[in-house]
């Protein structure tokens, strides 16, 4: 009842303000009705639309053939007018859009239409902010009782037959292992397995930042390519590091044990630029709200750089840059199983880590998980 009385009073004041303002040159006229800044009436420059704010609710006074009435404004308007839109493009792709229509300021980073990226909308009062991260929505509201957050999650598009979502772009995390190792190049001078790894500490981090998919008309399978950066640690189980024999020859192990010093860790770090060529197929199987997809193919990698690093338990450490006869090109076979936005994968290198005749023949295997479409 109190709110109804307040609405009637606000309506009366709004009508009085309409009569007084006419076609004022000011775009908006705001008046505090109760003197406590909790009830506001805003009229536009034409005097034919009035917004009434009562506490944390906003109403619009509308007029039709049946007279004037109040309508609560519940949704933040998205910017439709291109006059106040600023866009930042990289090539032909829009990455940032900033738009303003007088009521709201809207900032979109990424692909909003496909449920990706980040979106922030603030209203003209500044007391409500809408934040969207992917399909998750957060509403930060400043009310009379303080600031609180509302959260909800948009339903994922389940129109399986009419959409195709590739699973390359995203973040991969895996464990590196050495397979099919052959140390015969050393002629027995060094023991076999001298470069065996601590798999739990030999991690691969792959940031796949670009993705393109060429799909069939029914969108049941597609040819996927893109680009990424691969960062690989190979942590040795033995207290050894690498060096080139006579600074330019074959890559050989070096014992780094010292008197009264124990080796905490020693590793080889290698970076690559990666380009995949994958065939991805959507299966009829579903797991909960996600459809099962399979992909397989090859990943070509270009060597970017490497270094060795080892550390003792007294925290003294040594880091050395060098190419260590790493193969300039790497060719991997990959198989991937996708459950929605979660992937299990395995990559096996068909080319050895070191150039032929310049080190042991070692083929890296990486097994891990991926988080595509983040």
Give the pLDDT of residue 33. 47
> Given 153, 170, 193, which residue is the final one in a domain?
153
Does residue 191 sit in the same domain as residue 280? yes
Does residue 134 sit in the same domain as residue 266? no
**Three-state helix/strand/coil letters over the chain:** CHHHHHHHHHHHHHHHHHHHHCCCCCCEEEEECCCCCCEEEEEECCCCCEEEEECCEEEEEEEECCEEEEEECCCCCCCCCHHHEEEEEECCEEEEEEEECCCCEEEEECCCCCCCCEEEEECCCCCEEEEEECCEEEEEEEECCEEEEEEEECCCCCCHHHCCCCCCCEEEEEEEEEEEEECHHHCCCCCCCCCCECHHHCEEEEEEEEEEEEECCCCCEEEEEEEEEEEEEEEECCCEEEEEHHHCCCEEEEECCECCECEEEEEEEEEEEEEEEEEEEEEEEEECCEEEEEEEEEEEEEEEEEEEEEEECCCCEEEEECCCCECCEEEEEEEEEEECCEEEEEEEECCCCECCCCCCEEEEEEEEEEEECC
Give the pLDDT of residue 340. 82
Tell me how many domains the chain contains. 3
The answer to whether residue 265 sits within a structural domain is yes
> Given 18, 52, 72, which residue is the final one in a domain?
72
The answer to whether residue 66 sits within a structural domain is yes
Give the pLDDT of residue 29. 42
Which residue range(s) make up the domain with 58? 2-72
Does residue 67 sit in the same domain as residue 89? no
The answer to whether residue 288 sits within a structural domain is yes
Bridge pairing between strands 67-72 and 85-90? unpaired
Does residue 286 sit in the same domain as residue 197? yes
> Given 27, 49, 72, which residue is the final one in a domain?
72
Cross-strand pairs, 46: none
Does residue 148 sit in the same domain as residue 164? no
The answer to whether residue 170 sits within a structural domain is yes
Provide φ and ψ at 268, rounded to 5°. Answer: -115, 130
The answer to whether residue 77 sits within a structural domain is no
The answer to whether residue 114 sits within a structural domain is yes
Does residue 164 sit in the same domain as residue 95? no
Residue 192 CB partners (closer than 8 Å, separation 6+): 181, 183
Cross-strand pairs, 30: 42
Give the pLDDT of residue 46. 46
Nearest-angstrom CA–CA distance, 374 and 150: 22
Does residue 37 sit in the same domain as residue 11? yes
Does residue 145 sit in the same domain as residue 167? no
Could you tell me the two tokens for 282? Answer: 């959507």
Contact between 100 and 124 (Cβ < 8 Å): no
Nearest-angstrom CA–CA distance, 237 and 191: 13
Does residue 271 sit in the same domain as residue 301? yes
Does residue 54 sit in the same domain as residue 6? yes
Q: Give the number of other Cβ atoms within 10 Å of residue 57's Cβ.
A: 12
Give the pLDDT of residue 22. 39
The answer to whether residue 326 sits within a structural domain is yes
Does residue 114 sit in the same domain as residue 209? no
In angstroms, the Cα distances linking 46 to 28, 58, 368 are 9, 20, 63
Per-residue pLDDT of the chain (374 residues; tens, 9 = 90+): 444 444 444 444 444 444 443 333 333 444 444 444 455 566 554 445 566 666 667 777 766 556 666 667 654 444 444 546 666 665 566 656 767 665 566 666 666 565 556 666 666 555 566 666 666 676 777 666 666 667 676 665 444 334 578 899 999 999 999 999 999 999 999 999 999 999 889 999 999 999 999 988 888 889 999 999 999 999 999 999 999 998 789 999 999 998 888 999 999 999 999 999 999 999 888 776 678 999 999 999 999 999 999 999 998 999 999 999 999 999 999 999 998 889 999 999 999 999 999 999 999 999 999 999 77
Does residue 296 sit in the same domain as residue 241? yes
The answer to whether residue 228 sits within a structural domain is yes
pTM, full prediction: 0.58
Contact between 345 and 356 (Cβ < 8 Å): no
Contact between 336 and 345 (Cβ < 8 Å): yes
């Amino acid at each position: 009842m109190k709110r109804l009385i307040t609405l009637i009073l606000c309506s009366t004041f709004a009508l009085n303000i309409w009569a007084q303002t006419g076609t004022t040159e000011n775009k908006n006229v705001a008046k505090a009705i109760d003197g406590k800044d909790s009830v506001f009436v805003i009229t536009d420059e034409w005097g034919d639309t009035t917004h009434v704010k009562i506490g944390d609710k906003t109403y619009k006074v509308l007029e039709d053939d049946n007279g004037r009435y109040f309508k609560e404004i519940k949704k933040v308007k998205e910017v439709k007018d291109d006059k106040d839109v600023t866009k930042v493009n990289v090539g032909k792709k829009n990455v940032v859009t900033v738009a303003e229509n007088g009521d709201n300021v809207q900032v979109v980073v990424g692909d909003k239409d496909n449920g990706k990226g980040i979106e922030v909308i603030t209203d003209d009062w500044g007391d409500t902010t809408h934040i969207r991260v992917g399909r998750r929505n957060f509403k930060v509201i400043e009310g009379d009782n303080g600031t609180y957050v509302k959260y909800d999650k948009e339903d994922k598009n389940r129109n399986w037959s009419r959409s195709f979502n590739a699973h390359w772009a995203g973040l991969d995390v895996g464990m590196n292992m050495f397979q099919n190792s052959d140390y015969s190049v050393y002629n027995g001078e060094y023991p076999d397995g001298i470069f065996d790894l601590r798999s739990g500490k030999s991690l691969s981090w792959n940031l796949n930042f670009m993705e393109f998919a060429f799909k069939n008309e029914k969108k049941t399978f597609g040819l996927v390519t893109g680009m990424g950066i691969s960062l690989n640690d190979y942590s040795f189980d033995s207290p050894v590091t690498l060096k080139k024999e006579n600074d330019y020859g074959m890559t050989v192990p070096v014992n780094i044990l010292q008197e009264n010093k124990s080796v905490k860790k020693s590793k080889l770090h290698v970076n690559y630029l990666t380009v995949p060529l994958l065939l991805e197929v959507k299966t009829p199987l579903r797991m909960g709200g996600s459809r099962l997809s399979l992909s397989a193919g090859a990943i070509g990698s270009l060597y970017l750089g490497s270094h060795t690093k080892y550390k003792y338990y007294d925290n003294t450490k040594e880091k050395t840059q060098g190419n260590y006869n790493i193969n300039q090109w790497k060719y991997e076979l990959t198989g991937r199983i996708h459950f929605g936005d979660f992937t299990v994968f395995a990559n096996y290198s068909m080319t050895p880590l070191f150039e032929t005749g310049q080190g042991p023949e070692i083929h890296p295997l990486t097994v891990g998980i991926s988080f595509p479409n983040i």
